[in-house]
Structure 1
């Protein structure tokens, strides 16, 4: 026992000394700043089923989680607030802003989808918000001035520390928003505007946070200008809280060049992040930073009753709005899971019309309801296209298109609806050799030529067992929802109609 004491007591004393020295700075005490953050909420105000955690996420769970905090904190959001649910879309974002006011957000960056309903709608939700919405690099094409209802930055003080928060949106804005929604508006290069406002803020604050809707590119190149690029090139900032790419960074990503921490929670308010900054209390210099993302498990954290009741009010409110008529269909457009369908033809034609692609593919499983003849409501379109699928452009060779079609008729993948091409197949033949003829436009498929192809982001990432799309080298997500394109088409061209054109011909197995 004496021997154990001789060993362990010095070890314990050593550990205490190390901890003390770790937190002790030349000038004295350390002050900690907690910043909670969300991104890409996309209108998800309610908890949803999670296989691992049970009911998870939503505004009421977020507020209940924050109620456990014992010290002052900031709460920030990195954009794409309301698009994606009836409660968000049909209130023009008002439901989300009202709930964010109640939860207690301190600032938010504008995301590309926050502009889906136009500049006037964005101005309206900015006026409604009790917290500043930011957009330092979002400018008018006419005079290069910032939008009057957005702020480039804001300053928040907590525990005697002044924190400058600069908001940035992706400079690829015109690639990921319907052009009609942002006519006369541009997003400038993120690094340039970050440097501009860092210089402006530095004399006013103790530290600077970037709140960005820029994202982290999956297939990064050394020249890719995303949040990691900003972190590598802006040692002046304490951290970057980002969104847009729906990247789940449980403990963040730290630049090996500058030490700047990049944070992101994933998407759809299933999680919340907590960034903790450690500063020298006297000099107010940043000593270290760390972050962690928490799952908003309702069984563990509960749901705030006030927020829950307010969310329920909006659910009831939009029930009537979902039944608003937006147009009509001349005939019933039915879906089909193993052959050409009217609804599949209509959807894929819209993809080509919107993107200018030569060929379009849509997985039959992504079409969830038939579209009945007569009046069409928002509810009808949400039921046809309930997933928040965006339209993606991909370059495929003729040989790859042949492989895709073989996969479609093999029985081992989801059957694809098509536009821009016609093909025949014979199920009596060996798998991989069933497609007998392919015509693109009016010409036979050229195996050696590259074609511009449109599809949805689910298929583009290899969904329904299509590795050809996932492995394609040239890929561009427009960020535009297929559902929004459908709504716009119905509004402009009712009554809509389609006819079967014999795009997919299954040879008679009795022959």
Structure 2
């Protein structure tokens, strides 16, 4: 055994064994005196104390040498999907997803291991549906409070309503929000409404949980939403806190909204993490991954899946010896429903139904959203923006919307406001500004620097060649049918997210004569009403070479 103390020295001449000197025997009479009675009581009391000490020691040894199962229930990227979806299979049907079913599953699993269960969420909680957005996420936090969550991490979309709303949701929650890699620019410290980590006990097992937000958040949200904040790399933050957390915890969990790729990199480069509970990439990781000694899990998105990772912790050797490998993530189906959450959701759904279910028009074709390049849905949205006439006195020459802001598809047939809100859930507003041809060219160069085009457009076309050097990939641009004039000034209709430099499009911030208009979702809804039935198609507006 290695010890920090110096070895004991052996005596050169050990002392001879000595006879024990015992006190003289005490003679008891058949009729003990009062003194004898007191002595007997003292002996009995000392014996009972000794037995209690031995029992406590044996109990402590048993507690420290056995194994215990810690259940980590986890969700991520629920995006405000409070309502369940009815799924039909032949003549049978069942409900899937929705917060009443999520919380019902949590209730059932916690009941099976009540003293050793954690419930964690890896971010992007409330933004994405009309019902949740209408209350700016209050209903989601109410449901999570009922479920008894242990901790959550703020995802990038949890900043979409601004820091004041995030602070309000954190204050509403009965659990902390963790983000070790989000700091204040002014102080270099974690903002007061967040915590870098949490040490909690489940039974007699100490669990340390370090939170990580998405490092790229400043590039994909409005700058005002993250003003004054700095987002560090996950590895930098974990390395800063890990040793201290490790000393206080038996099990260390990183609660991450960085995405699966970054979680795997973290696991491979930073030793000492037992589990990474992840989010952001919406992966249904049915079977738990293991990278080195770190277990990685992620449970899909939109409250349709939930994970339950059982960790067997060996208290004698102080380590996790086994864990749930297969079917760690399962669909959220309506076998067990939390009645309180269901009642709350039904009330909010009834209030929203009058708006959401109102038909606004019809599409004659399926309209899929597109990750990059041109698609009919993108053309529909951009055309609606250009036709809205909200560019002030000078009509807009061009409309631009980012592909990544189109979040759902529209199926052929009737379109309701609720359907359209799922396509455009962010609450962005129309924003018109003046840009020179040179600035428009810089914006287009940026949009083809990664994916093959991340701007759907109306009133213009552009061609590009991604094999060419950066800065020279745009090969041709037309506006209103004429070649782009680099010196000319054009009126551009876009959204406030891009106008503020979102998606890394800093050139938009150079725009002049800025005018704000209506929410984009309402503008597109009105366009569909006026032009129904719609049948947009690909027209060659964006041409890769």
TM-score normalised over the length of structure 1 = 0.63
Instruction: State the partner residue of 1:59.
Output: 99
Q: Give the structure 1 partner of residue 310 of structure 2.
A: 276
- In structure 2, the partner of 1:421 is 461
Query: How well do the aligned residues superpose, as a CA RMSD in angstroms?
Result: 4.5
CA distance in 1, matches of 2:447, 2:129: 27
**Which residue in 1 is equivalent to 2:125?**
81
Any conservation in 1 of the 2:84–2:98 contact (CA below 8 Å)? Answer: yes
Q: Residue 134 of structure 2 aligns with which residue?
A: 90
From 309, 322, 346, the counterpart of 2:384: 346
Structure 1 residue 113: Cα displacement: 0.6
**1:40 match:** 77
**Structure 1 residues 394 and 253, CA gap change in structure 2 (3 angstroms):** farther
CA contact (8 A) 2:424 2:521 kept: no
User: Which protein shows a greater Rg?
Assistant: 2
Provide Cα deviations, 1:119-152, integer angstroms capped at 9, x if missing partner: 0000000000001111111122232221111111
Instruction: Give the Cα separation in 1 of the matches to 2:280 and 2:523.
Output: 35
Deviation at 1:227, TM superposition (A): 0.5
The CA deviation at 1:315 is 2.0
Distance 1:420 1:289 in 2: 55
In structure 2, the CA distance between the partners of 1:178 and 1:31, relative to structure 1 (3 Å rule), is same
- In the other structure, the counterpart of 1:395 is 448
Secondary structure at the aligned position of 2:183 is classed as: strand
Could you tell me which residue of structure 2 aligns to residue 327 of structure 1?
Answer: none
Q: Confirm or deny: 8 A CA contact 1:237 1:260 kept in the other structure.
A: yes
Q: Distance in 1 between matches of 2:482 and 2:459?
A: 14
Aligned partner of 2:206 in structure 1 is 162
Q: Once the two structures are superposed, what CA deviation does each residue of 1:259-285 show, in whole Å capped at 9, x if it has no partner?
A: 211100110111110111111123432
| Aligned equivalents of 2:217, 2:148: Cα separation in 1 | 28
**SS, match of residue 250 in structure 1:** coil
Task: Say whether the 8 Å CA contact 1:362–1:418 is kept in structure 2.
Answer: no
CA distance in 1: counterparts of 2:521 and 2:108, whole angstroms: 52
Shift of 1:396: 8.9
When structure 1 is superposed on structure 2, of 333-342 and 112-121 the one drifting more is 333-342
**Pairing of 1:282-297 with structure 2 (within 5 A):** 282-291=316-325, 292-297=328-333
Distance 1:340 1:158 in 2: 49
Counterparts of 2:158 and 2:504 in 1: how far apart (Å)?
12
Seen in structure 2, the aligned counterparts of structure 1 residues 120 and 285 have a Cα distance that, compared at 3 Å, is: same
Cα deviation for residue 116 of structure 1 reads 0.3
> 5 Å matches for 1:450-461?
none
TM-score, normalised on structure 2? 0.60
How far apart are the structure 2 equivalents of 1:336 and 1:181? 38
CA-to-aligned-CA distance 1:368-420 (integer Å, 9 cap, x gap): 8999xxxxxxx84x4434336899986399xx99xxxxxxxxxxxxxx98552
1:343 deviation in Å? Answer: 5.1
Select the residue among 90, 104, 113 that pairs with 1:71.
113
Structure 1 segments unaligned to the other structure (5+ residues): 1-24, 218-225, 324-331, 372-378, 402-415, 424-437, 446-454, 456-476, 481-487, 507-511
- CA gap of 1:239–1:354, structure 2 versus 1, over 3 A, is same
Cα separation, 1, equivalents of 2:147 and 2:330:
17
Paired positions, count: 381
How much has 1:303 moved relative to structure 2? Answer: 1.5
Residue 120 of structure 1 aligns with which residue? 164
- Residue number in structure 2 paired with 1:246: 282
Given that 2:362 and 2:412 are in contact with CA atoms closer than 8 Å, whether structure 1 keeps it comes out as no
